[in-house]
Amino acid sequence: MELKATRRRVLIVDDERLIADTLSRILQLNGFETAAVYGGMSAIEEARRWRPDLIISDVIMPGMNGIEAAIHIREFLPSCRIILFSGQAETADLLESARAQGHEFDILAKPLHPDDLLKCLDSRGS
């Protein structure tokens, strides 16, 4: 019996549906199993249900921002790698506040080029 290698599960979170869906498709084409959601609360619900290996999330979103969602998700998925991305200046203050509370996240700048994202995913093996 041959065991099939498990594809890494990646949850994409962005309130801009086109961005979330496009990133999801790019990662699918590169061998990842993906799901896309469009807000912080949805990210928490989907992460709890689907148990991804990796989360790639926008920071600035209406309602719950990506950092708040990431902190909540880490409570029940502590080994899940979380990469945040943003094109907004206010992200620096939010990240500094999270760091002061002991939370560290990888960060990428928007616009997010697919090659840069794939390099980031390969750099840590998850």
> Within a domain: residue 54?
yes
> How many domains, the chain?
1
- Write down the pTM of the prediction: 0.85
* C-beta atoms surrounding 74 within 10 Å: 16
> Within a domain: residue 1?
no
Cβ neighbours of residue 8 closer than 8 Å, sequence gap 6 or more = 32, 33, 53, 54, 126
> Within a domain: residue 48?
yes
Domain that holds residue 18: 9-123
**What pLDDT is attached to residue 119?**
85
**What pLDDT is attached to residue 109?**
81
> Within a domain: residue 64?
yes
Domain of residue 49, CATH code: 3.40.50.2300
Q: Could you tell me whether strands 54-58 and 33-37 are parallel, antiparallel, or unpaired per DSSP bridges?
A: unpaired
pLDDT along the chain (126 residues), means of 10: 66 96 95 97 98 96 96 96 84 84 86 84 65
> Within a domain: residue 4?
no
> Within a domain: residue 2?
no
